[in-house]
Amino acid sequence: MVIQPIYLPHLLKQPRCTQLLAIDQAIADLITLTPVRGEVKVRHGGTFLEVTAQAETIVTLHCDRCAQSYNQRLALDTKEILWLDNQGENTIPVSERELSWDDLSEVLPPDGHFDVETWLYEQFNLALPLKNLCGKDCQAPQVPDDDADNGFDRRWAALADLKRQWN
């Protein structure tokens, strides 16, 4: 089941201008081992949307040090304010006008949609670790010595030479 985008004018008619979504499904283009589970709350504040999420899933990552695969739990506990463009004064596309600091934040049209699934996808990607290590005791793979009788793969020769230079 796909999470349907929220039509912002309808959100104003909800109790407290808020919609609470229970999430228990896969998110498009987010490769996970388990479905994303949690809650997303979207509140219309007149000139802004307040979006909060508590959700989690498990992803498979590849260690930067030993190149082995490992599973990592990703958890979100986040809140974001998205501004609504009530003035509509900028009818010139962003690619054709000079940008100000105000243009560097995300702005939604007040009569548009908020795509919850895309927002969740972005939040989980921001939650991915910058450095992937399978554990604190992870060791880099050992480079074999280049003795002819040990079945040494010649493709490792340059790395073996570097290793000898540093020893």
Q: What is the pLDDT along the chain (167 residues), one digit of tens a residue?
A: 678 999 999 999 999 999 999 999 999 999 999 999 999 999 999 989 999 999 999 999 999 988 899 999 999 999 999 988 865 555 555 556 576 665 556 778 888 899 999 999 999 999 999 999 998 888 877 665 555 555 667 777 788 788 888 87
Please tell me the predicted confidence (pLDDT) of residue 94. Answer: 53
Give CA torsion, residues 83, 89, 94, 95, to 10 deg.
Answer: 180
* Beta carbons of 120 and 40 less than 8 angstroms apart: yes
Q: What is the pLDDT of residue 57?
A: 97
- Residues pairing with 74 in the sheet: 57
For residue 144, give Cα distances in angstroms to 24, 104, 138, 161.
47, 51, 18, 11
Rounded to two decimals, the pTM is 0.74
CB 116 within 8 A of CB 21: yes
- 126: enclosing H helix or E strand: helix 116-127
Nearest to 77 by CA among 53, 94, 96: 53
